[in-house]
A and B are shown apart, each in its own frame.
Chain A
Amino acid sequence: MEAVQQHILNVLEADAAIRDTRLLILPGDTVPAKSQDTQLVIQGALNSLLSKDMVSYTIQEEITHVLTAEGTQIAKEGSHEARVWAALPVKGDGTPLSKKDLQTIVGDDAAKVGQGRAFKNGWIGKDGDGLVKLITTIDDITQRELQEIESTGALKAGDKALAELRKRKLAVQKKFLWFTVHKGANFSTALEKLETDLTVEMLASGAWKTASYKKYNFDAEGAPTNGGALHPLLKVREEFRNIFLEMGFTEMPTSNFVESGFWNFDALFVPQQHPARDLQDTFYLSDPSTSLDPPSDLYEKVSTIHTVGGYGSTGYRAPFSKAESTKLLLRTHTTARSANLLYQIANQPGGFRPTKMFSIDRVFRNETMDATHLAEFHQVEGVVADRSLTLGDLIGFMQTFFSKMGIKDLRFKPAYNPYTEPSLEIFAFHPALNKWVEIGNSGMFRPEMLEPLGLPKDVRVHGWGLSLERPTMIRYGINNIRTLVGHKVSIESVEKSAAVRF
């Protein structure tokens, strides 16, 4: 490389300029640097010199032709028609060759294409069932032209002939780069060794004062860092936690994946015949399969509200069994925990006090998995319990909560949920999709759920929930949940996932 650079400087010193780098004969070579590969070597050397302002150069572009694989073969062995002609005996001198034998000699493709052209050129003719030469010498123009292109990259016969060869897929156009070089501001024939970095030795010796430095390429990537990385879903979790904490929420202890039918459903006023309790939707446990009894006074109240009603409700007036209540399962929502905490709050020393609580933790659904659903996901849940809360409070609160994530355009759709009344589905306008998309659920817990837990009648409780995965998939533009959660996630994608800044 340095030899090339030195050679360029020497030529420039002698000739003041290099009009065409294709005429250079590089050190160690005997012929001019005509190939594209050598021109690229020259460009590398020129760039080095350019970085020191020792030369300047302009790029010249030329359209040339190169042969395809088939073209190269013809340049070497002759055109198909010439090979067909060559294989045949002269008319009257020897047995005419059958088409089948011709195929065996020159190959199927050459026989097929070559025969037609050879006939057209008047080179060959039929003799009985076989083929023979009609003339004794031929001029294989195709081969000649291709050989010319192979050596010069061009064809004297002109563009029309070239176009024909391109059409026959024997030659293709190619861009060819060469250069014109002039002296630069710092031109010198002395090629100085440049320092790439400042070193401790240079500091000690003082050499840094006189050394020349290689230009730094500010367009290149820096060296990769070697720190670790946090998982993108859990980075979004952190943002959600921060929003809750900023708004004065207490984090709920949710460290219990295993729940009983009682806490997961009954206490939430989900009827024992509800479809969510099907084997199709909920993971039940085989070992252990049965919970200890829930607090007996509470169980009594909950079973009463289901079977005969109370607290101003007709209840479901449906069968209710202890066996269903004590079935163990993997919680289908963290609301199971919220119910338990509301029970504790209602019965704490000194009685009920207003509270705001949140949790972000895993829940489990025995669902068929697809691109957006896994059997486990994170539920984000918020609960506000206070006297005299209103539905307007819930809606206003949701506006504030979601605006902290940059979501401002919300609307609310009446919905059904066994333990909230009213129930509101939260829709947000998604500018990229240009439509309203459901982003969460909310509601006021039913008195049939709250009053058996021991909460005073005038205490109203807002609850809302959303999945953590969905906003994360939107944030990172992920379509398949398996590329976000689970062991199939690429470690590299974790390393590269950007920070979350709502």
Chain B
Amino acid sequence: MPTVSVDKEDLYERLGHQYTTEAFDQLCFDYGLELDEDTTEEVNEAIKRGLPTERSQLKIEIPANRYDLLCIEGIARALRIFLKKDTPPDYKLVLPSGGEERLLTVTVSPEVAQIRPYFAGAILRNIKFTQRSYASFIDLQDKLHQNLARRRTLVAIGTHDLDTLRPPFRYQAQPPKDIKFIPLNKNTANTAEELMTLYEADRHLSRYLPIIKESPVYPIIYDSCDQVLSMPPIINSEHSKITLNTRNVFIDTTATDETKLAIVINMIALIFSEYCEEPFTVEPVRVVYPNGVTTITPSISPRSTTAHKSYINACTGLNLSSSEICTLLQRMSLLARASPNSDDELLLQIPPTRPDILHECDIMEDAAIAYGFNNLPKTFPSTNTVAQPLAISKLSDLVRVEWAMAGWIEVLPLILCSHEENFEWMERVDDGTQAVKIANPKTLEFQVVRTSLVPGLLKTIRENRSHALPIRVFETSDVVFKDKSLERQARNVRHAAAVWCNKTAGFEIVHGLLNRIMQMLEIPRIPAGDKSMETGYYLLETDDPTFFPGRAATIYYRAPAVKGASTPTNIKHHSRSASASDTKIGVLGILHPSVLQNFEIGYPCSALEFTLEPFKKEINTVWTAQR
């Protein structure tokens, strides 16, 4: 959420009331703003100590969709209306003397289509800036650039002293070497090509260069004497820059997104129109597109829409009359009146400063805010349902409790880890088919989503060197594997894992832990070579570089046959091998010394890890959305 810093004295003067910090905090809370900070104490302290200081500021967090509140002018207006000290302003477009004929015209060239196709302009006539309103005007542009305009990628704003320019204007796109002008705050003319190199060192402007850098043509705005106004979205020209003495401001906005263009030009022009000699008036601009289409910008007419008393009451749980609702909405700057045709219908005029209103639900919310969320009747939904835990959660909890009762400590390492931890350090090879990889991590700690719980357990042991031996830690949590068959190309698998660390490796300890949980799950152990048992688990020695040779085993599970399927053959094999239908569910073994070395562990360790998925018990469904 954006934070706006406003001058405290100015704001209270605009609101016509000196608030205590607590009272203003409450007002903000009720309206949906958040008072982050009041710098008064800091400022007073500085004054007492004779230090230079700015005036007291209120730092106010505003909702991210309320662009009309990004400056003191907007906040003060909204709150005055909310406090019923004002009514919403009636913004007007005023044609120049001489009428429509004399409108300032901006002609858009076809080439801009490849880089920044949309243009809108507006003129503020006979404006009077003060030091602080001027600063606010600049600041609002910056706030809009950063937020709604997504760092100037979607929309860029330029403001000019109109009296230094000769209309009509042209918005076109040219190869950078053909553009040359004196940019803002410089005194020599440079080509656009040179400027792009020059600004690479500029901390502020360098961020915007990539928006047009690779384009064969750059957007550029000229007046009728070929004087450059600006090269959006990078820089304005020095020639037309506005000052405190500027009386007539021309605002140019260029965009790749037409909707946001309209929002931005409305915000900047309408909010600052309050400083015009005739407040709340804006002189429009004619924009002529290459296909002959002509638009008049800004388009400030309120949007007519309807809302319904029944809907607002049903959503809020209130029982308000149409006129009560209209009064509430007026406090939120929405002009509403009861429809002459229907008792239920309300006719609304959504002001051009409120593009956040998309749907009737936004109107309903505004009514509820004006009524006061904390004044609403508190009821309890009558929705009658039966509780239902997930099968995998119940199974996981069973393992957790059994292992904790067996004397093991549950730990909680992170799910994201480095590629090394998940593969190289475990002496495992990444064949590219298993781990999900992150494209944009901020640190190398987070390169992959883990495919095994053991690295996290080993890191935990490494960080707990001072703990008395033996260390026995476990975790039951999800790992993630790639899965091309699924919409999201990956699936979570619930694993259980444990690591024992002591002066002796203790294979039999983790082995015992496996036996214990199988006993609790009523999974019998299948003796060597037995093919007849219907279900159970067994271990087979395995070669696995993660583990010490001869001290590693794969855990196999034989799931009970689905009823109706063929029964297993009753033949005993003497060779130790897995039946084709049995599945590998995990591994256990003494960790290889090189793995221990990789994780900087000086004591022998044994590890156990297996999937819990086959042991999930289907819960009799009362109701569940699971397919």
Contact = CB atoms under 8 A, between A and B. Distances in A.
Interface of A: 226-231, 233-234, 238, 241, 244-253, 255-260, 263, 273, 275, 279, 283-294, 309, 311-319, 328, 330, 341, 344-345, 348, 353-357, 362, 364, 366, 368, 374-376, 384-386, 388-393, 395-397, 399-400, 411-416, 418, 421-424, 444, 446-448, 460, 462, 485-492, 494-495
B604 to A, nearest CB: 18
Contacts of A486: 412-414
Interface string B449-480: 10000001001101110010001110000101
B150 A273 contact: yes
B385 A253 contact: no
Given A227-B405, A368-B442, A388 B314 contact: yes
Contacts of A393: 317, 379-381
A273 B257 contact: yes
Contacts of A284: 438-440
A390 B316 contact: yes
A183 to B, nearest CB: 45
A422 B368 contact: yes
Contact of B1 (A362, A386, A411, A416): A416
B492 A255 contact: yes
B390 A253 contact: yes
Contact of B361 (A230, A421, A487): A421
Contacts of B378: 392, 395-396, 399
Given A256-B491, A283-B446, A366-B441, A230 B404 contact: yes
Interface string B303-316: 10000000000111
A328 B376 contact: no
B414 A285 contact: no
5 contacts: A250-B385, A260-B488, A287-B432, A386-B382, A396-B379
A353 B489 CA distance: 30
B380 A356 contact: no
B488 A414 contact: no
Contacts of A247: 387
A249 B487 contact: no
Interface residues of B, number: 106
B405 A228 contact: yes
B410 A494 contact: yes
Given A286-B439, A390-B315, A328 B489 contact: yes
A366 to B, nearest CB: 6
B623 A462 contact: no
A462 B449 contact: no
Counting chain A CB atoms within 10 Å of each CB, the highest count among B65, B410, B471 belongs to B410
B382 to A, nearest CB: 8
A222 to B, nearest CB: 18
Interface stretch (B27-35, B103-111, B135-143, B518-526): B27-35
A375 B446 contact: yes
A250 B387 contact: yes
B259 A494 contact: no
B365 A256 contact: no
Interface string B359-377: 1111011001100011011
Nearest to B396: A234
Given A234-B412, A260-B487, A422 B365 contact: yes
A348 B625 contact: yes
Given A314-B358, A422-B368, A285 B437 contact: yes
Contacts of B415: 257, 362, 364, 376
A377 to B, nearest CB: 10
